[in-house]
Amino acid sequence: MFRTEGSELVKGSMLALTIDAILDFAGDRTGHFRLIQCEVQSHDAYGTPRKLFGEFFGVIAETLREILGGDWSPEVDEAWRRLLAEIDQVVAECEVQNEPHTQPSS
C-alpha cells in the first residue's frame, strides 16, 4: 500500500498518523481526522488513486480483526463498518470539492 521507495521511518510515520486520525475520527473529532482530507489532496499530486484510501483503512481494520481474533465482536465489526463508510464519504467529498468548476455559458 506504500510507495516502494518509502523508507521504513516514513511508512511507520504514515501508519502512526493514520491511526491517530482514525481514533480522532471515531471519537471527539478534535481536528486530527482532518488529516484524512489533507492526505487525500496531497496524494493526488503523487497520482495515488483515491480508492486506495478506503482500502488502506480497510487493511488496518482487517489486521486488527486478525490480531483480536475471537475478541472481534459483532459490535466492533459494525463500528468499523460505519467508520469505514464515513471515511469513504470524506474521501468522496474531497473529490467533489476538487472538481473544476465550469462557468455557465452565455
Tell me which residue has cell 488496518: 60
103 pLDDT higher than 50: no
The residues, any chain, with a CB within 8 Å of residue 40's CB and separated by 6 or more, are: 50, 53, 90, 91, 94
Q: pLDDT tens, 73-82?
A: 999 999 999 9
pTM of the model: 0.74
Distances, alpha carbon 56 to alpha carbons 7, 103, 105, 106, in Å: 18, 36, 41, 44
For residue 99, what pLDDT is reported?
A: 52
The answer to whether the CB of 65 falls within 8 A of the CB of 57 is no
- If one compares 11 and 97, the residue with the highest pLDDT of the two is 11
> Does 1 have pLDDT greater than 70?
no
What is residue 96's three-state secondary structure? helix
Q: Minimum mean pLDDT among 1-5, 27-31, 38-42, 102-106: which range?
A: 102-106
**Which one, of 53, 25, 1, 32, lies nearest residue 10 by Cα?**
1
